[in-house]
Amino acid sequence: MNAVWTILRVTFLQQVRNKLWLAALLYAGIMAAASLLFGAVAADAELTVILDLGLAAAELLGLLVAAVGAATLVLEEMESKTAYLILTRPVPRASYVVGRFLGLLGAVLGAVALMGLVHVGILMLKGWEPSASYFACYPFMALKVTVVASMALFFSLFATSQASSVSFTAFFWLLGHFGPELEFLAVKSRSVASAVGVKAFLFVLPRLDLLTYRDLLEIPGVAAGPLLARGAAYAALYTGACLLLSATLFSRREF
């Protein structure tokens, strides 16, 4: 645990010093421009549009930073050989992987929180009244970022390049929102083999539709609490599996 914490701390600081906060700055710029634009074109729905766009932009930026960060997290250290001075010490390789991952995650979630503050500020300037369901979106966002980052880390350890690792992640991210539709296909499929194949694929695919609460805002009968509990359990399992696989792959790596 000591090794995990030590590596986490240095990774967190490294990410912050790598100007991760620029993502939050970019976000602030986008939202300021959007609030001006949509004030003019969105009529009565100005607040709705700014709210939706802000949540989506924060999530997208967070995911982008997490995915690219995770894809380079271990690879970069292997290529620059910074990892040598750690791996020649009594540090289990799994601790190294977990520490690096948690450090990155901490930094990214901090950036997302910063974006959230900017968003709330802009909304309140526009006369928005805070609602619990809005704030409930952020834990779901955090879970999604965690799942996607863990997936990106895993891909980085067997993909041939950082670019292919990010591409795989983007592909799985897209498909991850299609869970219910793929389930429907599996049910409707007449071929047992393809039904089994689709179900197996669904098992591997991250079920990001379970973690997209912001699309369920204001839909009647949708309560955040139970969804969050289910989402958190799923995210913990999926992330745990990705980290376990990553640690296993990394432990077999030679330098």
Partner 1 sequence: MENVTKVFRRSHLGRVRETVGVRDLSLRVFEGEVYGLLGLNGAGKTTVMKLLLGLLSPSSGRAEILGRSPEDPEARRAVGYLPEVPYFYRHLTAREVLVFYGRLSGLPRESLGARVEAVLKEVRLAENAHRPMREYSKGMLQRACLAQALIHDPKILFFDEPVTGLDPLGLKEMRDMMAGLHERGKTILFSSHNISEVERLCRRVGILVRGRMAREVDRSEWEKDPGRLEAIFVETVAQDPNSGLRPVMS
Partner 2 sequence: MPSAGGPPVPAYAVQDMAAVLSGARRVGSDVAFIQLLQYFGGGDANEAGGKGNAGPRSTWLPRFLPMSRRVAALNPGFHAAVLFAAGSLGFVLDRPDEALSLLEEGTAADPTFWQYRLYAGAVAYRKNQEPDKVIVFLWEALKYPDCPGLLQNILANLLKKRGDFRRAAEVYRHTIQTCRDPTSVDTARRQLDRLRKAGLAP
> Where does this chain bind partner 2 (CB under 8 A)?
38-49, 52-53, 56, 59-60, 174, 177-178, 208-209, 212, 214-215, 217-220
User: Out of partner 1, partner 2, none, which partner does residue 139 contact, by CB within 5 to 8 A per kind?
Assistant: none
Under the binding rule (CB under 8 A), the answer on residue 87 touching partner 1 is: yes
89 binds partner 1 (CB under 8 A): yes
Which lies closer to partner 2 via its Cβ, residue 174 or residue 229? Answer: 174
> Which tokens belong to 85?
């001075």
Q: Is 150 in the site for partner 1 (CB under 8 A)?
A: no
Question: From the list 41, 43, 90, 125, which residue makes contact with partner 1 (rule: CB under 8 A)?
Answer: 90
Query: How far apart are alpha carbons 97 and 94 in whole angstroms?
Result: 5
Residue 19 within binding range of partner 1, rule CB under 8 A: no
Tokens of residue 128, six digits: 């928005």
What tokens appear for 9 in the block? Answer: 């701390």
Give the residue, chosen from 32, 33, 45, 81, that forms a contact with partner 1 under the rule CB under 8 A: 81
Encoded tokens for 57: 């932009």
Distance CA 29, CA 22 (A): 10
d(CA 135, CA 112): 13
Give the shortest CB-15-to-partner 1 separation in angstroms: 10
Task: Find which of partner 1, partner 2, none residue 214 binds, CB within 5 to 8 Å per kind.
Answer: partner 2
d(CA 71, CA 151): 9
DSSP state of 58: H
Interacting partner of 53 out of partner 1, partner 2, none (Cβ under 5 to 8 A depending on kind): partner 2
CB of 41 or CB of 85, closer to partner 1: 85
43: Cβ contacts below 8 Å, ≥ 6 apart: none
**Binding region for partner 1 (CB under 8 A) out of 12-20, 112-120, 193-201, 224-232:** 12-20
* Shortest Å distance, C-beta 229 to partner 2: 20
Q: Does 13 bind partner 1 (CB under 8 A)?
A: yes
146 exposed, middle or buried (CB, 10 Å; 0-12, 13-18, 19+)? Answer: buried
- Residue at 159: amino acid letter: A
Minimal distance, residue 156 CB to partner 1, in Å: 19
The structure tokens listed for 206 are 């991250």
Angle between helices 179-188 and 192-204 (to 10 degrees): 160
Show the tokens assigned to 129. 């009244």
Site of interaction with partner 1 (CB under 8 A)? 2-3, 6-7, 10, 13-14, 17, 80-92, 254-255
